[in-house]
């Protein structure tokens, strides 16, 4: 069974009296272990789709099954519990708490898990080692470069061992060298750790690192390429 199974998915928003369509009758299947790049012009629905797949928003119509769970009927509390166990999010702007160390930022998702403080520290340390920042565990975000901050964000996303990584423009705020290092890390997470990755990007070079490139336009999948 596919890890992601989307059928006839639609999403609209109300803007005053106007109904604004964002996604329209979208069908999509993603197998476990896949690495997919989502491309398309601004306003094509890429980030909306990512938010739906991560349980941050609900569809207006259609079926949305991720990791065997139909997300559409779930309550907000049930979605939060499902996200904590299933999905890791990686953002363009890192979203690290500036008053916390790298180690403490990575530990945050584990506060919802039934773990002792020692177990949380051990898992966070292992995640930071995996992204090559073990020696920076006690540094705060302002003491790190942009690329290092993004790696802390990746460590935070993988510390719960999620099935699915959802990445929204993860290299968009980085220089080319730092961005390539992040993409190398994604390659390793996909090929060696078996993580399923869905990445929104405007960068064709980043997209070509994925196994598949899907193009959205006006809320519709218009093309697919094998990278």
CATH number of residue 117's parent domain: 3.40.50.300
Share of the chain above pLDDT 90, in %: 63
Q: Is residue 26 one of the residues assigned to a domain?
A: no
Angle (CA) 125-188-159 rounded to 5° is 30
For residues 38-58, give the mean pLDDT: 90
Question: Which residues form the domain of 94?
Answer: 34-56+85-226
The tens digit of pLDDT for each residue in 167-225 reads: 999 988 888 998 999 999 999 999 999 999 999 999 999 999 999 999 998 888 887 77
Would you say 201 and 171 are in contact if contact means Cβ atoms under 8 Å apart?
A: yes
Stronger pLDDT, 144 or 94, i.e. the higher one: 144
H or E segment to which residue 225 belongs: strand 220-226
- Residue 108 forms part of a structural domain: yes
Tokens, residue 73: 């009927």
Instruction: Give the per-residue pLDDT at 158.
Output: 93
> What per-residue confidence (pLDDT) applies to 119?
92
With CA atoms as reference, report the closest residue to 183 among 208, 156, 209. Answer: 209
Query: Does any domain span residue 150?
Result: yes
Q: Is residue 75 part of a domain?
A: no
Residue 1, pLDDT above cutoff 80: no
Q: Is residue 152 scored above 90 in pLDDT?
A: yes
Average pLDDT over residues 69-93: 90
Average of per-residue pLDDT values in the chain: 91
In a domain, 123, yes or no: yes
Q: Is the residue at 61 inside a domain?
A: no
Please state, in angstroms and rounded to a whole number, the distance separating the CA atoms of residues 129 and 216: 36
Q: Does any domain span residue 212?
A: yes
- Domain-embedded: residue 47: yes
The pLDDT of residue 227 is: 66
Number of domains in the chain: 1
pLDDT at 18 over 90: no
């Amino acid at each position: 069974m596919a890890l992601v199974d989307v059928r006839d998915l639609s999403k609209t928003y109300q803007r005053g009296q106007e109904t604004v369509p964002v996604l329209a009758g979208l069908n999509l299947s993603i197998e476990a272990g896949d690495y997919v790049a989502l491309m398309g012009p601004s306003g094509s629905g890429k980030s909306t789709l990512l938010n739906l797949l991560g349980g941050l928003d609900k569809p207006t119509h259609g079926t949305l099954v991720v990791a065997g769970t139909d997300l559409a009927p779930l309550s907000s509390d049930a979605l939060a519990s499902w996200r904590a166990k299933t999905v890791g999010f990686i953002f363009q702007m890192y979203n690290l708490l500036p008053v916390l160390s790298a180690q403490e930022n990575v530990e945050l998702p584990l506060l919802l898990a039934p773990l002792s403080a020692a177990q949380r520290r051990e898992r966070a340390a292992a995640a930071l080692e995996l992204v090559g920042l073990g020696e920076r565990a006690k540094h705060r975000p302002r003491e790190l470069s942009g690329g290092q901050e993004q790696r802390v964000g990746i460590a935070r996303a993988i510390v719960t061992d999620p099935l699915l990584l959802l990445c929204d423009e993860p290299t968009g705020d980085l220089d080319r060298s730092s961005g390539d290092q992040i993409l190398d890390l994604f390659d390793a997470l996909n090929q060696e750790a078996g993580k399923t990755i869905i990445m929104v990007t405007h960068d064709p070079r980043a997209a070509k690192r994925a196994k598949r490139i899907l193009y959205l336009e006006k809320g519709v999948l218009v093309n697919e390429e094998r990278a």
